[in-house]
Homo-oligomer: A and B are copies of this chain.
Amino acid sequence: MTSLRADAARNRALLLATARQAVASGDLSLQLNEMARRAGMGVGTVYRHFPTRRALLEALAEPAFAAVLDGARTASLHDDPWTGVEILLRALLLQQLADPAFAEVIASPATDDAIPQTTAQRNEFNALARTVLARARETGALRPGLTDEDLHHLVCGTAFALGLGPTPAARVDAYLRVLLDGVAGRAE
């Protein structure tokens, strides 16, 4: 059976909305007890829908993940390989800034208790990124010696760096410029 009972679907949606609001108001702790209280349901219900904080986090990150996938597709279709890299890294960085839950999910390695949705998105993203980066390497646009993982880590690091400042959004372009210039090949 793939569909939820009516009350379960309602509660799940309510819970996600509550959690999203919490994150939006700057509280990324996502205490499940507290979420239950705010959503007006028992803790048991919350834990049935999201067995761990992580599960809730991944569910929250789903839309941001989809947005990044869009960006990655656009990147892979662009004529110029280096522009593709710019689009890819920019999308990844912007979504981390827009959604702290996504930032946390994407920065940590795939776990085996990840929800299927997340695993699928992660795999698709990795595949797209692989083609974009491979193309850029072939043309020498990308600095040699950097793996796909290195790039991934560096973008997450840049997001982390932005988060240390008082107004991350105001510095995105500057930090992204630093990153792009740093990872560009000499030929660029």
Is A187 part of the contact surface with B, judged by Cβ < 8 Å?
no
Size category of the binding interface on chain A = 20 to 34
Name the residue on B nearest A158 (C-beta).
B157
Q: Is the interface of A mostly helix, strand, loop or mixed?
A: helix
Judging by beta carbons under 8 Å apart, are B179 and A150 in contact?
no
In contact, A160 and B156 (Cβ under 8 angstroms): yes
**Can you list 15 A-B pairs, Cβ within 8 angstroms, ordered by A?**
A146-B178, A149-B165, A150-B175, A152-B164, A153-B164, A153-B175, A156-B160, A156-B164, A157-B159, A157-B162, A157-B175, A160-B160, A178-B179, A179-B182, A182-B182
Residues of A within 8 A of B (CB): 107, 109, 143, 145-146, 149-150, 152-154, 156-162, 164-165, 171, 174-175, 177-183
